[in-house]
């Protein structure tokens, strides 16, 4: 009887230890929706995953490609994906329409938005878009903000011919010279097009007063209220990934290629895109602040532009759009 009791106690103890071990190693699953097909700015997220920064925070993170800002905003608002890499101008308009979204970690805080044209037929300013064909998918962030550029520069929208290719097809139309121009990110399409031999001319939206923040991390606000600890852990790991990528960009690109080996031929393009992303991480108002921290003045300026030019109906206290509460200090 004594031996039986001892064996029984040992078995119970072993089961308890197994249960505790399983509980301790359990990871919260998070699907992080990227804004677009893979490009260099995504590399730090893949590096954070490859280095084990997410798993160290007990997170099982899946990185999924996106199909444009409007689509990502919809997926986040529906709760299909709780966290995403989202254009903040598109997010702001979505919040104005009642979508439950919140910005939590700024990344491309200086605007990367540009208009690209052919070097042998350069379009040097928005006015020169009149009578030209510009190709853009309606869901992409540059398309969402494009009306603001035209309005700010005094261009009549009905004088610009807009064609809407399928997502990801505008580069081909441009290279075939079936489009005179495309809206783009300086840290995305410039490297892609030059890699295919194109000679480019481009100007920035910000040159005409449309200096809006671009992509950052956003979350479904209802999910965020219920999962603040997951959000803090996700951003801690993400910040480490960005810090490591700045020290070792080649390792960041290697992490992308490990996940997407079919992109090996784009290695140089990805690296240049990542290099062009680092200068976008801060604005004059965020210098000296932790990575991801956002300034009220930048949000105020952005909302003013969105209300004046981009169809945002009502101004709100900008704290309704963002929070720094989850940014690692």
pLDDT reading at 201 higher than 70: yes
Mean pLDDT of 270-289: 96
Mean pLDDT of 167-174: 88
What percent of the chain has pLDDT above 70?
92
pLDDT reading at 10 higher than 70: no
Confidence band for 22, pLDDT divided at 50, 70 and 90: very low
pLDDT reading at 149 higher than 80: yes
Contact 28, 56 (CB under 8 A): no
pLDDT at 69: 86
pLDDT reading at 287 higher than 70: yes
pLDDT at 3: 47
Q: For the chain, what are the domain ranges? A: 29-110+213-320, 113-208
pLDDT reading at 309 higher than 90: no
pLDDT reading at 134 higher than 60: yes
User: 113-208 has which fold?
Assistant: D-Maltodextrin-Binding Protein; domain 2 (3.40.190)
pLDDT at 257: 98
pLDDT reading at 200 higher than 80: yes
pLDDT at 138: 84
30-52 pLDDT tens trace:
999 999 999 999 999 999 999 99
pLDDT reading at 4 higher than 60: no
Average model confidence (pLDDT) across the chain: 92
pLDDT at 166: 84
Higher-confidence residue of 16 and 132: namely 132
226-279 pLDDT tens trace:
999 999 999 999 999 999 999 999 999 999 999 999 999 999 999 999 999 999
Mean pLDDT of 41-69: 97
Q: Which residues, other chains included, contact 133 with Cβ-Cβ below 8 Å and sequence gap of 6+?
A: 161, 162, 163, 178, 179, 180, 181
Mean pLDDT of 88-99: 94
pLDDT at 14: 52
Q: In this structure, which CATH number among 1.10.10.60, 2.40.30.10, 3.30.479.30, 3.40.190.10 belongs to the domain 29-110+213-320?
A: 3.40.190.10
Whole-model pTM? 0.84
Q: Point out the least confidently predicted range of 24-33, 189-198, 254-263, 289-298.
A: 24-33
Return the HEC string of the chain. Answer: CHHHHHHHHHHHHHHHHHHHHHHHHCCEEEEEECCCCCCHHHHHHHHHHHCCHHHHCCEEEEEECCCCHHHHHHHHHHCCCCEEEEEHHHHHHHHHCCCCEEEEEECCCCCCEEEEEECCECCCCHHHHCCCEEECCCCCHHHHHHHHHHHHCCCCHHHCEEECCCCCCHHHHHHCCCCCEEEEECCCHHHHHHHCCCCEEEEEHHHHCCCCCCEEEEEEHHHHHHCHHHHHHHHHHHHHHHHHHHHCHHHHHHHHHHHCHHHHHHHHHHHHHHHHHHHHCCCCCCCCCCCCCCCHHHHHHHHHHHHHHCCCCCCCCHHHCECCCCCCC
């Amino acid at each position: 009887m004594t031996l039986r009791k001892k064996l029984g106690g040992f078995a119970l103890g072993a089961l308890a230890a197994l249960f505790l071990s399983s509980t301790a190693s359990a990871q919260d699953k998070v699907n992080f929706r990227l804004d677009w097909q893979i490009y260099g700015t995504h590399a730090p997220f893949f590096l954070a995953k490859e280095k084990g920064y997410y798993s160290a925070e007990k997170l099982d993170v899946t990185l999924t490609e996106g199909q444009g800002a409007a689509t990502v905003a919809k997926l986040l608002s529906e709760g299909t994906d709780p966290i995403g890499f989202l254009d903040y101008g598109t997010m702001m308009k979505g919040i104005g329409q009642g979508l439950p979204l919140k910005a939590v970690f700024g990344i491309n805080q200086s605007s990367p938005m540009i208009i690209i044209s052919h070097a042998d037929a350069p379009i040097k300013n928005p006015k020169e878009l009149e009578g030209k064909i510009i190709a853009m998918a309606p869901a992409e962030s540059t398309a969402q903000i494009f009306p603001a550029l035209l309005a700010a520069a005094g261009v009549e929208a009905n004088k610009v011919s807009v064609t809407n290719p399928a997502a990801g097809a505008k580069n081909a139309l441009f290279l075939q010279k079936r489009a005179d121009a495309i809206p783009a990110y300086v840290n995305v399409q410039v490297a892609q097009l030059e890699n295919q031999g194109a000679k480019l001319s481009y100007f920035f939206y910000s040159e005409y007063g449309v200096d809006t923040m671009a992509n950052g991390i956003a979350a479904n606000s209802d999910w965020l209220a219920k999962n603040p600890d997951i959000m803090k852990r996700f951003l801690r790991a993400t910040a480490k990934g960005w810090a490591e990528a700045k020290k070792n960009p080649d390792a960041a690109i290697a992490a992308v290629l490990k996940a997407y080996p079919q992109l090996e031929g784009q290695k140089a393009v990805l690296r240049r895109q990542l290099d062009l992303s680092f200068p976008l991480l801060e604005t004059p108002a965020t210098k000296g602040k932790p990575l991801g921290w956002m300034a009220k003045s930048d949000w105020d300026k952005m909302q003013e532009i969105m209300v004046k030019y981009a169809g945002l109906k009502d101004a709100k206290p900008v704290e309704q759009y963002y929070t720094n509460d989850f940014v690692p200090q």
